Amino acid sequence: MKRITVSLIAILILVGSSMNRFAYGNLDEKSLVTESNVDGLQVISKKAFNDIISVQLFIRGGTAYYTKEQEGIEALTLGVVTHGGTMTQPKDDFQSELEKLGTTIGGNSGLDFSTITMKCIKKNWARSWEMLTDIILNPDIEEATFLLNKDNAISAIKQDDSSPDARLEEMSRDASFQDHFYSIKPNGSEASLEKLQLEDIRNYYSTLINKSRCFLVVVGNLDGKELELRVKESLAKMPEGRFATKTFNRLNITKSSVVFEERDIATNYIQGTIGAPLPLTDENRAMIVAMAILYDRYFEEIRTKRGLSYSPQSYLRNRRTPSAIIYVTTIEPDAAVQVMIDELKKIKKDGFEDSELKNKKAGFLTRHYMQLETNDSQGDMLGRAEILGGWEKTETFVDDINALTLEDINDTFDKYVKGVNWVYLGQKDQFNEATYLQSLN
């Protein structure tokens, strides 16, 4: 079962502001984030006052830059690179030294971008940076590591097949993004991974690491000039590249639909996808708050009053093509979904209440700040915002939320909530198609 800490809070981090006002009193938060260009490589750095250094190399693109037949190639490639060694240090020696330093290096791949990350304590910063840049610029992509990571990736796919939430997410993506880049699975399928060979990985990695496609985000207690010098001597030597950004349109769902898949499970899993405004816009901020208020309504109406579900949810999934998500697991799907639809209709007709907006702003921002306590999360926030259109928007996030009016969230909700693409995974005898196809007007 999904948890709100994995859904709503992830969205807050994705577009959020730094927590400097909360953590550092009157310190001017804008002075803590700087951007520089080091021989053509974009570097975003933020001052932090602790002993942890977080480094994230963001790689633009995601699933828009490889084919359906190649799905999983980026995730596998980064797994092979970050779990291996370098041309100057064999795998076992490299990974053993990382462990002794207490330094972690990893790779992650998603729909809009990928990352190579490093976290270390400050006293081991110099050597950890050397190791990170060595593995980025000079990885030893060898067969044993490739085969091990490939086997692990296939095993993870097989495990996901048995997970209702994983299958529900795949169904939801297929239902709403049939002709979109998001129809490609970042982690791949068993069939696509089986086809990948070592040479495919080597060739693909050479397309990722260049200055037009990558940018660096560093959060830690570092001297800016020292950081720029280290970048100049290492990562700034990567090729220039010719990365071209593709256009992403917003998701527009005008009427409701439903996809059913039977599975003999104790509880039914249901998710709805709703169209949403493009990221980093005023309407997007309004939709974030609207979905957060809707979450409270669902919790009250579905769990507290009726006991139909343990954890009904609603949140905005902020990507280059955002979507609003509503979700429930229940043994009484018809009743639970009817409540969800009734609330959507009620809000479209009557709007939210002023008291809901006032209460949500305070709780919303407090929860937002609490999720930005680590250097990793602050770096992730800056990098994701840059992918979506500009890290600078994180500086105004708090002011943007506080400036929202009741009319803003009501108008935005009414404009974008026109229909729901439902997916249902569960018992066939509890599925009533007519419930899901109701008009929201």
Identify the pLDDT of residue 120. 98
Task: For residue range 203-221, list pLDDT tens digits in order.
Answer: 999 999 999 999 999 999 9
What CA–CA distance (Å, rounded) separates 107 from 141?
A: 14
Q: How confident is the model at residue 397 (pLDDT cuts 50, 70, 90)?
A: confident
Give the list of residues 6+ apart from residue 349 with CB closer than 8 angstroms, or none. none
Kindly report whether the global pTM for this prediction surpasses the value 0.85. Answer: yes
Identify the pLDDT of residue 31. 60
In residues, how long is the chain?
Answer: 441
Question: In the chain, what are the helix, strand and coil shares in percent, each to the nearest 5?
Answer: 50, 20, 30
Is the pLDDT score of 8 beyond 60?
no
Task: For residue range 308-366, list pLDDT tens digits in order.
Answer: 999 999 999 999 999 999 999 999 999 999 999 999 999 999 999 999 999 888 877 77
Task: For residue range 250-295, list pLDDT tens digits in order.
Answer: 999 999 999 999 999 999 999 999 999 999 999 999 999 999 999 9
Backbone dihedral angles phi then psi of residue 119, each to the nearest 5 degrees:
-135, 135
What CA–CA distance (Å, rounded) separates 27 from 4?
A: 31
Q: How confident is the model at residue 20 (pLDDT cuts 50, 70, 90)?
A: very low
Between 2.40.50.140, 2.40.110.10, 1.10.10.370, 3.30.830.10, what CATH number should domain 41-237 receive? 3.30.830.10
Is the pLDDT score of 12 beyond 80?
no
Answer whether 41-237 and 257-436 agree in fold: yes
Q: Which residue ranges make up each domain of the chain? A: 41-237, 257-436
Fold of 257-436: Cytochrome Bc1 Complex; Chain A, domain 1 (3.30.830)
Give 402-408's long-range contacts (Cβ < 8 A, gap of 24+): 402/361, 402/365, 404/285, 404/286, 404/289, 404/357, 404/361, 405/357, 406/351, 406/352, 406/353, 406/354, 406/357, 408/282, 408/286
Task: For residue range 64-112, list pLDDT tens digits in order.
Answer: 999 999 999 999 999 999 999 999 999 999 999 999 999 999 999 999 9
More confident residue, 409 or 369: 409
What number is the average pLDDT over the span 135-155?
97
